[in-house]
Structures are given as C-alpha cells and as structure tokens.
C-alpha cells in the first residue's frame, strides 16, 4: 500500500465535512478532530471554498491529512493541490478525473459500487476505492460480493455509516477505512460543539480498535 493509504487505514475513519464558514471553523474543527485521535478530514466541495478550508486546516494542524471530497472537475483538483490538500475523493468514477489526479501526483479515491466501475479502477492501478453511497448500494454484503472477483482492492465505504454500524464494516479485512459525516454534522459545526466532535471521534477510534482486535 502507498504511505497515504497506510496512514488513512491506520486511522480507520474519515470525517466527511461540509464547511460553510472556513475562516470561522476550519482551524477549530481540525484541532477537535486531532484531539479525538482522528487526524484526517475530507472537506467536500458541497460548500464553496473547500480549498480555503483545506488550506486553513492544514495551517492549524500541519500533521493532519486533509483532502477534498465531492470533487467533480479538474479545476477543483488544481485548487486542492494549490491549497496543499493531501488527497481527492470523487462521488463516482470519472476516468478523466482519475487520470488528471494521477498525472498531478495526488492520490484519488473515486466512488465505485459496480463491477464495471471496479474494472475501470483496476485499469488505473488503484489500491483503495471509495464505495458510495455504501448503505444504499448494498452495504457490506455487496462489498464482500465484489471482492470475490476483485480481491486486490481495499474499500473506503461512505454513506449511511454511523457509530451503529461502523464496527461491522471495520471488522472486514476488505475495509481500509469508513467515511462519514456523523461526527461532523452541520448542527455540531454551526453550534461550535468542538468537545462533542472530539468525543464522537474518540468513540469512533475505540470502535476501530475493537473491530480490529485479533480474536
């Protein structure tokens, strides 16, 4: 596995964030995540200024991995690289985006939920792919079924994952890490509930450990 994939897998959970006020919240949020043992963030382009948020979070927490989510065009990839972002996540598989990110040397995790998309990911030599929207697309059962013909991939599911089903996903050796917004909801961010975010991260890290503890 690449260094980036190893680091993300070791953390085990990736907060998926929509940040409406990067100047106000990016630094505090980064610190809250790190304090909870989750030094990684996927900041989505569902809100404008995701690149600004990435830059500010990296400045506040230089050891953190901060990537971009909901990336749908190459201009966003350029903006993320300029902001010092560590990785790119896209909701679906767009070969143009994957090729562009690889050409620029930035790790990309495109969303794949079908055998045809896995075929494409194979062509691009990817090791880890996003599986989105996980629960709505068949969840762990589908991930396991696809790993039959495609055992070379580790998967990062997002969509419908919470403290309730996190352990079930992470217990599977196919899962690199789980993404989710449950620890960084709009309500928690907008009311600056940083301690609560830290606590949800701590609980998640506990579940990562439990799920991976050898039996």
Q: How far apart are CA 157 and CA 45, in angstroms?
A: 18
For ligand 3PG, the closer CB: 185 or 215: 185
Catalytic residues: 42, 130
For ligand 3PG, the closer CB: 59 or 135: 135
Give the full edge-to-edge strand order of the sheet including 13-17. 108-110, 88-90, 65-69, 40-44, 13-17, 178-180
How near is the Cβ of 214 to ligand 3PG at its closest, in Å?
28
Check: CB of residue 127 under 8 Å from CB of residue 109.
no
How near is the Cβ of 111 to ligand 3PG at its closest, in Å?
8
Exactly one of 79, 147, 179, 198 binds ligand 3PG (CB under 6 A); that residue is 179
Exactly one of 15, 69, 107, 110 binds ligand 3PG (CB under 6 A); that residue is 69
How near is the Cβ of 181 to ligand 3PG at its closest, in Å?
4
Q: Looking only at residues 141 through 160 of this chain, which bind ligand 3PG when binding is defined by CB under 6 A?
A: 158-160
Exactly one of 11, 13, 16, 68 binds ligand 3PG (CB under 6 A); that residue is 16
Is residue 132 a contact residue for ligand 3PG (CB under 6 A)? yes
Cα 210 to chain centroid distance, Å, stands at 20
- Written as six digits, the tokens of 13 are 């959970």
Exactly one of 76, 90, 113, 181 binds ligand 3PG (CB under 6 A); that residue is 181
How near is the Cβ of 42 to ligand 3PG at its closest, in Å?
7
Written as one string, the DSSP assignment of 144-188 is HHHHTT-TT-EEEEBSS--TTTHHHHHTSTTBS-EEESTTS-HHH
How near is the Cβ of 148 to ligand 3PG at its closest, in Å?
24
Is residue 184 a contact residue for ligand 3PG (CB under 6 A)? no
Nearest Cα residue to 97 out of 76, 66, 127, 122: 76
- Scan for tokens 């701590």, then name that residue: 202
Check: CB of residue 177 under 8 Å from CB of residue 11.
yes
Residues lying near ligand 3PG in the complex (CB under 6 A):
16, 69, 132, 158-161, 179-182
């Amino acid at each position: 596995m690449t260094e980036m994939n190893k680091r993300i897998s070791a953390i085990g959970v990736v907060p998926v964030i929509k940040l409406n006020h990067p100047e106000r919240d990016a630094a505090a949020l980064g610190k809250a995540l790190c304090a909870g043992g989750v030094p990684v963030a996927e900041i989505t382009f569902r809100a404008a200024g995701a690149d600004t948020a990435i830059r500010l979070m990296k400045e506040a927490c230089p050891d953190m991995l901060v990537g971009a989510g909901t990336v749908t065009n190459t201009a966003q990839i350029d903006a993320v690289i300029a902001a010092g972002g560590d990785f790119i996540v896209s909701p679906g598989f767009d070969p143009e985006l994957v090729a562009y990110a690889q050409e620029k040397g930035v790790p990309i995790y495109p969303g794949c939920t079908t055998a045809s998309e896995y075929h494409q990911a194979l062509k691009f030599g990817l090791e880890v792919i996003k599986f989105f929207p996980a629960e709505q697309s068949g969840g762990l059962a589908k991930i396991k079924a696809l790993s039959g013909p495609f055992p070379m991939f580790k998967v990062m599911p997002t969509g419908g994952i919470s403290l309730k089903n996190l352990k079930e996903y992470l217990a599977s050796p196919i899962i690199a890490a789980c993404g989710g917004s449950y620890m960084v909801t709009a309500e928690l961010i907008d009311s600056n509930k940083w301690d609560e975010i830290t606590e949800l991260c701590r609980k998640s890290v506990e579940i990562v450990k439990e799920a991976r503890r050898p039996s």
